[in-house]
């Protein structure tokens, strides 16, 4: 499979703590994107990081990319109950379509 694989599969933390999710992939990529999904509906785009970038920030989100290890991480700082969702990484596959991993289910407890 060429898909990205997120870990952990599930993560439960207290509000205010940081949450870190990881994504590993198998092929060379053009870019990697992180998405959030609430309640099994549409996915919301969070961050796109290109293969020549190592780190990107967006508000409380920080994404890193290590192409030598074929891995990426998503850090959510000072988590809130509203961050409870499933998080997916998507890798560009054969330059055409994106392949999604199975996701990490994050629960932020008040």
**Span from 17-25, 33-41, 60-68, 71-79 in contact with another protein (CB under 8 A):** 33-41
- Is residue 92 involved in binding another protein (CB under 8 A)? yes
| Alpha-carbon distances of 89 from 1, 34, 81, 95, rounded to whole Å | 15, 4, 21, 16
What 8-state DSSP symbol labels residue 83?
G
* Position 101 contacts another protein (CB under 8 A): yes
Instruction: Check if the beta carbon of residue 31 is closer than 8 Å to that of residue 92.
Output: yes
Tell me: does residue 44 bind another protein (CB under 8 A): yes
11 binds another protein (CB under 8 A): no
- Cα dist. 82→2, 42, 60, 104, 109 in Å? 31, 16, 13, 15, 10
Residue closer to another protein, measured from CB, 39 or 68: 39
Q: Is 98 in the site for another protein (CB under 8 A)?
A: yes
- For position 96 contacting another protein by CB under 8 A, the verdict is yes
């Amino acid at each position: 499979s060429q898909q990205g694989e997120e870990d952990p599969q599930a993560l439960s933390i207290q509000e205010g703590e940081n949450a870190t999710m990881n994504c590993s992939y198998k092929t060379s990529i053009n870019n990697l994107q992180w998405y959030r999904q609430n309640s099994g509906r549409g996915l919301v785009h969070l961050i796109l990081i290109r293969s020549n970038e190592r780190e990107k920030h967006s508000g409380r989100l920080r994404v890193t990319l290590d192409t030598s290890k074929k891995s990426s991480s998503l850090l959510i700082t000072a988590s809130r109950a509203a961050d409870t969702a499933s998080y997916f990484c998507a890798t560009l596959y054969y330059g055409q379509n994106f392949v999604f991993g199975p996701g990490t289910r994050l629960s932020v407890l008040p």
